[in-house]
Structure 1
Amino acid sequence: MQIRVGGFYAESDSSIDVTDPILGEDFKLDFETDLELDQYQFLPFFELEYAYDHKHHYYLDWKQLHRRGDTIGLSRGFQISIDDTIYQVDTGARLDTELDIDILRLGYGYDLFEGQNYTLGVTVGLHTMFISIALEGAIGACISGQIEGNQCAQTPIPRLVEHEVTAPLPDIGLIGRYQLMPGWELNGHAQYFYLELDDMKGALTDIRAGISAALNQNWNLSVSYNYYRVSVDMTETFYNIKVADFNINYSFIGPKLALTYRF
């Protein structure tokens, strides 16, 4: 069994489809551009791997993206509808935003080919995204029937109720290792998934190539270059979310550093 911990430098892109209360038109509200959440951030990850009979591998890994944004003057007002309630934020309003995304993966790998210095296998897994969104500030609310001319008689609320959404994302891929010399190893994997249902569409691409060096019998250090992108689009009614369509895109391209302990 081995435990791997490390960090990576992530580039994030996320948005939600909302309505302009003046024009009555839908538009994309960008969390990074409009709500001032950090686009680039150094983030932690955790991986656990258990090998059985050399050929069978079981995986558990977790990645975290938690961000906060403070918008002093919103450039464009918007409305979203949740559970028959219209929430409205006007142009120029102050708004504090929280967007938390956690990705948990369970996986299984099997080594198809083994040589003296290499292995090549296949993997299958299931990613789950935990998404939590909260807005706090100059927010008003009214029931859907109070809308007249795209406007509503607002009742101020201090905080928009948080919404938590989980989206299971299956994946399939290849994984390989090549021993350059004792203690030094090239390794990499490629995973892909795409799924489209009535109210949800999701995709995942995960490609990594790197090198690891043994520090001693139990510890090794690895450096890799990783392209990772996962996206989820949800429309219509999903977990009590109506009208507003969530478009969550999470990606990073860049270096990844990890420390592994084997026992």
Structure 2
Amino acid sequence: MVSGLTFSLFKSNLALSFPIQVATLSDSDEASQCDKGQTMHKRYLSLAIAILVSGHIQAGDFAVTVGALHNTADTNISMGVPALGAQLKLDGESDLDLAKKRYSPYVKLEYQIDNKHSVFLDWHALHRRTQAQFSSAPVNVLDRQVEVGVNVDLALDIDIARVGYAYTFLTTDKLRLDAMAGLHVMTIKSQGGIDARVAVDGQESVSVAGKAKKNNTMPLPNVGVRASYQLTPKLAVKSHLQAFMVSTRLYDGHLLDFNLGAQYQVTDALSVNAAYNHYGISVDYGDSLLDANIKMSFSGPMLSLQYGF
């Protein structure tokens, strides 16, 4: 004889029913010990399946955010030789004519494991290219006019990714605070060429050309906090702050990642985000032979769409 049982599996507001067929012994089966053993095995198997299926399963929420940033970039490099008192300062936007303002894509993936734990990954990029010409004023050397010129063709691509974990340590009806820890991974790809020439009395006498390509990846650990405050059922203010500092005998550096914005819930799954972002990094190096400082920052508004699954 076969009896039917129904077990329900709940996810969010959906209820799915699964009929589980449980085989039981009939009077004719009891005469056979072999058939009885096989039937008992089926009963235990059906019971195990029923327990697994009928348990409450709550899957984590998965959200995808896609948008764009309007970055204002600031890049400064300085190098010096203390023993000689020589110092070279270079502004990437003014001296190399790198684009100061530029749109860049933004993508974020976040998985909410449960009501307290989540993991996330986001990425944005700033890719710039410049073609610039520099020339000196003519200089009189031994009654001859000497002029130096340089052509620069440079591509500078910066990609920044965040990989992290967030833990919710405070929750109220309107406020939510998370502690975060993870990595900022910055990849800098530079390639290009420099042509230098020296002209004497208007006639080119020396010409030098060179090309170079270099990739650098810097993974930097960081800690931070993020907050969300619900103004209305559909509108929330959100922010995050992450930082990292390191100091050694030769190196000093810091990283700052800040975001402040608003999120409007269009539907249960879709929301619109508008925010202001700032990302800055500074590295100082110094010894008796060489000192150097590199500062880069990217700031600006961001608009994005978030969809939850």
- TM-score scaled by length of structure 1: 0.76
Question: What is the percent sequence identity of the aligned residues?
Answer: 32
More helix as a share of residues: 2
CA shift, 1:186, in A, is 1.7
Q: d(CA) in 1 for partners of 2:293 and 2:187?
A: 13
* Aligned counterpart in structure 1 of residue 120 of structure 2, from 45, 59, 67: 59
Query: Who is 2:305 aligned against?
Result: 259
Q: Residues 1-263 of structure 1: matches in 2 within 5 Å?
A: 1-17=62-78, 25-74=86-135, 91-139=148-196, 156-159=208-211, 161-198=212-249, 200-233=251-284, 245=292, 247-252=294-299, 254-263=300-309
Q: d(CA) in 2 for partners of 1:187 and 1:209?
A: 6
Contact 2:71 2:301 survives alignment (8 Å): no
Contact 1:214 1:220 survives alignment (8 Å): yes
1:228–1:15 Cα change, 3 Å: closer
Corresponding pairs, count? 228
Whichever residue aligns with residue 164 of structure 1, its letter is N
- TM-score scaled by length of structure 2: 0.65
CA shift, 1:70, in A, is 0.9
Whichever residue aligns with residue 92 of structure 1, its letter is G
Q: d(CA) in 1 for partners of 2:284 and 2:96?
A: 19
Q: d(CA) in 2 for partners of 1:19 and 1:193?
A: 26
1:104–1:48 Cα change, 3 Å: same
1:63–1:75 Cα change, 3 Å: farther
Contact 1:64 1:103 survives alignment (8 Å): yes
- Identify unmatched segments of 5+ residues in structure 1: 77-89, 141-153, 237-241
Contact 1:34 1:75 survives alignment (8 Å): no
Q: d(CA) in 2 for partners of 1:24 and 1:230?
A: 26
Whichever residue aligns with residue 57 of structure 1, its letter is S
CA shift, 1:202, in A, is 2.7
Does 1 or 2 have the higher relative contact order (CA < 8 Å, sep 6+)? 1
Q: d(CA) in 1 for partners of 2:136 and 2:307?
A: 49
Q: d(CA) in 1 for partners of 2:250 and 2:304?
A: 37
Whichever residue aligns with residue 130 of structure 2, its letter is G
Query: Who is 1:79 aligned against?
Result: none
Question: Which is higher, the Rg of structure 1 or of structure 2?
Answer: 2
Whichever residue aligns with residue 229 of structure 1, its letter is G
CA shift, 1:7, in A, is 1.4
Contact 2:264 2:273 survives alignment (8 Å): yes
1:130–1:232 Cα change, 3 Å: farther
- Identify unmatched segments of 5+ residues in structure 2: 1-61, 138-146, 198-205
Q: d(CA) in 2 for partners of 1:114 and 1:128?
A: 30
Whichever residue aligns with residue 43 of structure 1, its letter is S
